Amino acid sequence: MSVLIAAAELLRGPRPVLLDVRWALGDPHGRERYLAGHLPGAVFADLESELAAPPSPAEGRHPLPPVEALQAAARRWGVRAGDAVVAYDATGGLAAARAWWLLRWGGLADVRLLDGGLDAWVAAGGELETGDVVPEPGDVVLTGGAMPTLTADEAAALPARGGVLLDARAAERYRGEVEPVDPRAGHVPGAVSAPTTENLTADGTFRGDLADRFAALGVRPGTAVGVYCGSGVTAAHEVAALAQAGIDAALWPGSWSQWSADPSRPVATGAG
């Protein structure tokens, strides 16, 4: 099943459960933006409270929520057994991919990202509505474990075992030139810089040559691939891009926020 759905296809229907996942690091106004204008029928999914467990140095800034909590959130969103779900945001899927990944991890098969997000919907002639949407509660049952994950130790060992560990953060964070939120700057030794923003075109849709992009980063057929970012959010976007290219990849939920909080963990800097 495709990772993506085009706005034109979504407009034609039938309409799935729609999740508005507008969120950005340091921007607490996602819900306000949702209320001001969203796809008709879309429910706001709060990344901080519904798509993550409370932060801790041991687990990182956005640990995976318990599957029971994710199931309760999905039912609040109105998801029922057998429903199709489409998640979107206004940033090329960088936040919405967290919902995509978590619901796939929870066991839902038919979950896609709106390619290009809110802008693509509007450009295709889609209307917006304002205010909150409170659907009838759903009855979906989630099980967890349907998408692969890595621990910190497993991620660190991947390059030496012939795999590829992709760092989805901005290149300057990978190189250790800046670090806006986490305890130390740099990257996991052996990781390859692969900013997930480079999986998108200028209009926020996914590139059509993703397989070539990842091949240039050392990902070949049969390669074991792991992905991390700052806290497991944009890494989900990279996993989605890899899936769109036909490549399976494991997510490291704790990511750099977990690694850098442990002073015993080594840190590399520079271009790698």
- Cα angle at 156 between 47 and 265, to 5 degrees? 85
Task: Using only the alpha carbons of the chain, give its radius of gyration.
Answer: 18
Q: How far apart are CA 104 and CA 85, in angstroms?
A: 10
What is the rounded CA–CA span in Å between residue 39 and residue 149?
31
Closest CA to 104 of 50, 60, 155, 142: 142
Q: Strands of 128-260 (E only): list them.
A: 164-167, 192-193, 225-228, 250-251
Instruction: Using alpha carbons only, give the angle 174, 269, 166 rounded to the nearest 5 degrees.
Output: 40
Report the C-alpha gap between 242 and 104 in whole angstroms.
15
Report yes or no: 117 and 204 within 8 Å, Cβ to Cβ: yes
Closest by Cα among 27, 25, 43 to 35: 43
CA atoms within 13 A on the CB side of 81: 3
Query: Which is the catalytic residue, given 156, 170, 219, 229?
Result: 229
Q: Please report how many Cα atoms fall inside a 13 Å half-sphere around the Cα of residue 220, on the Cβ side.
A: 3
215 part of the active site: no
Q: Are 261 and 183 in contact (CB under 8 A)?
A: yes
Token look-up 């998408």 returns 147
Write out the catalytic residue numbers. 229
